[in-house]
Chain A
Amino acid sequence: MSGRSLNISRFLTVRAAIVAVLLLVVAVLPLFVTGTDARYVLKVLTFVGINVLIVTGLALLFGYAGQVSLGHAAFYGLGAYASAYVTATLGMPWFVGLAAAIAVTALGGLALAVPSLRLRGHYLAMATLGFGEIMRIVFVEASSITGGPDGFSGIPLPSLGSFVFATPQSIYWLVWGVAALAIMISYNIVSGRPGRSMRALHGSELGAMASGVDLVGLKVRVFVISAVFAGVAGSLYAATVGFVSPSTFTFHFSVVLVAMAVLGGTRSLAGPAAAAILLTLVSFPDIVLPGLSRDILAVVQDWEVDIYALVIILVVLFLPEGIAGAGRRVLGLLRRGVVEPSGSDSGTGQRGDEA
Chain B
Amino acid sequence: MAKAMTQKAAPGLGLDADLARKLLRDMLLIRRFEEKAAEAYALGKIGGFLHLSIGEEAVAAGATSVLRPDDYAISTYREHGHCLIKGSDPRRVMAELFGRVDGLSKGKGGSMHLFDKEHNFLGGHAIVGAHLPIAAGVGFAIKYRGGDQVVLCYFGDGAVPEGEFHEALNLAALWKLPVIWLCENNRYAMGTSLERALAQTEIWKFGETYGIPSEPVDGMDVLAVRAAVGRAVERARRDKTPALLEVRTYRFRGHSMRDPAGAVYRTKEEVEREKLRDPILLFRDRVLKPGVLSEDDVKKIEKDVNDLVDEAVAFADASPEPPASELFTDIFKESA
A and B: interacting chains: no
Which B residues form the contact surface with A (CB < 8 A)?
none
Which A residues form the contact surface with B (CB < 8 A)?
none
